[in-house]
Structure 1
Amino acid sequence: MKKSLLMGLTLMITSTAAAQSLTGAGASFPYPLYSKMFAEYKKSAGVDVNYQSVGSGSGQKQISERTVDFAGSDNPMSDEQLKAAPGKLLHVPTAIGAVVPAYNVPGVTEPLKFTGQVLADIYLGKIRTWNDKKISALNPGVTLPPLPIQVARRSDGSGTTYVFSDYLAKMSNEWKNKVGVGNSLQWPVGTGAKGNDGVAGIVKSTPGAIGYVELVYAKQNKLPFGSVRNRAGRYILADNGPASLAAQGVVIPADTRVSLTNSANGGAYPIASFTYVIFYQDQKYSGRTEAQAKALKNLLTWMVTAGQQFNEPLDYARLPANVAAKAKSIIGTLNYGGKKL
């Protein structure tokens, strides 16, 4: 009897302890936001959330292999990836972020203007100097130096790369046909670095450099970044408002998996994206307890409700009301072996 009671107590303690710790891995895009969110969540809920910023590609791999409670990704997984997973995976957006062309051009003090075609030509290696006539034509009155352009890009599997290449493919048939869209690409030119912070580091230390990074990384590193012409023909400088408008120019499907680049909204910043958490609908797998499943559901619910207060101070747009409602509906379908949580 005593042995049975002891075993029962041990199981209860183990279950409770497991519920106090969750693990995630993936995108560096939302890492500054998640660091703040999870620190605040621990204060209020007592749950420790360990999130590793390893890139969207790695996050998708880890959730597919069921080695983490959730993945972070700036691009949704494909239908093929979802079919190959051992269970039904769900996507919930937590924020909207902007990918900006950050640069280091000595002597240039005002934001440069870019089009999608010019950005594609730079990353195709067709535009090689800052005073190229195609850049100069977009920036009359700006004295651009004859400085070689040093292209910086990601070396790891990256959702930021997916978002940037998704936009370039919509702007340039040559990019679409030669390079395409993906987390990892065969780059025509450039120096690779790991994470948004790695690309920002190259740009910051290299005169003549240009790199695509999430807005907060440009701001944290005090990097100038350019405005980008949107579908309406307006040059938009990235900020929370224009990033949020991107989601108002597309139809958001029930599963929320959608591209926000080149939004039809006239005020939208054109290189914007949701960042997602990805997790299994049925949480009963790999020895997980019901307490762990409930802890994950509570965390996700908080992230799309009360946790949204941390988005804007860190240069991420909040979820629009209609998107937050869809997110809560998706989270509500979580179950544990068929039992609703």
Structure 2
Amino acid sequence: MNRSARYIATFLLALFMQPLKGAAQANSESDLLRHIVASFVQADSDAYAAVFPSADSIIAITLRRAPDSTEQYAQARALAGNTIALADQDSLIRKNAFVLFRYIFYRGSALGVHWSDVLMNRYELEALHKTRDAALEAVAPERFVGYVFLEDMQTRKIFTLALSDIRKMEGKWYGGEANFIFEAKTKDEFNQKLKAEKKRILKGLADSALLANNVPPDSTDDEDEVSMKRKQVAERKYYIGWLDDDIPVDLYIRYLKGDCPGGICSYDAMIKFGEDNFIRYEVVKTKDGKWTFTEEETGGVLEVDLKGNIFSGVFSATTDRIDYDAYLKEKNMSKRKLEYLDEIMDEDLNH
């Protein structure tokens, strides 16, 4: 993607606090959520992307609803009818929806979800607080996060899927960014597992999806002892490459030993872009070789496939809300380089 197209897309996305995507609408919250569940049941990322409004739709709503004194109204008016910018935006949004969809689909599969045999058991929505953004409140006065409780009809287990950025606009329902999934029967149980998951990953322990089919350590084990067992480094990998053939990227991964089948139970990883410092990323790896690296504070996500010694895929940046093509190749490290990277990693883990 060239810089001018990237600028236009960024400008359009700035209309709202979160990206709004696709080309569909629902008459009720239950219709919207059933459509989202059906997209996962059918393994159809395009159907999932369709729950988000298209760029021209959101501009039209903004021009009808937003105060004409707001920056968002002025931006919408300037971009209305710009078919090239709107087409670029819709293309980017479909890619972003695919990244979200794929992460949840593969994570759910790793937890044991039989997606083709899932039914929506029930759902809960939580209204978001009002903001000082006059345009946002005029265009989407009702906004929600949601918890969708899915019943796996093969196992009768209940899984909770968390969604954000659900919006009611002009009587229609849109959105629903898929964030996380756990085996959980209630919202409180889900939030407890999410909190524990973040703590576990920060300690370098395995993602729960990787441990889903294994017997967990005995509850009487000393936590520090369990952590030390899982923190033994089995292998180190260093990759360098580019985003959009423009931005240099360095990726360092440590494979950590543990008690799970195969011996590698979790990973440490950190990434740096250009001349920036290394930042720690959380890692999820599925059995079919899909890797997801997530930065907790910014939410930036690197979704890649590993073939041989090459990672390729997409990096979704939250700072400019744009997807970048990612390509990284493994590089040998000197002993000095390895020690330097370990020092940075260990310093970050101890904070």
TM-score interval for Structure 1 and Structure 2 normalised by the shorter chain: under 0.3
TM-score by length of 1: 0.23
Higher strand share: 2
TM-score by length of 2: 0.23
User: Comparing both chains, which one has the higher relative contact order based on Cα–Cα distances under 8 Å and sequence gaps of 6 or more?
Assistant: 1
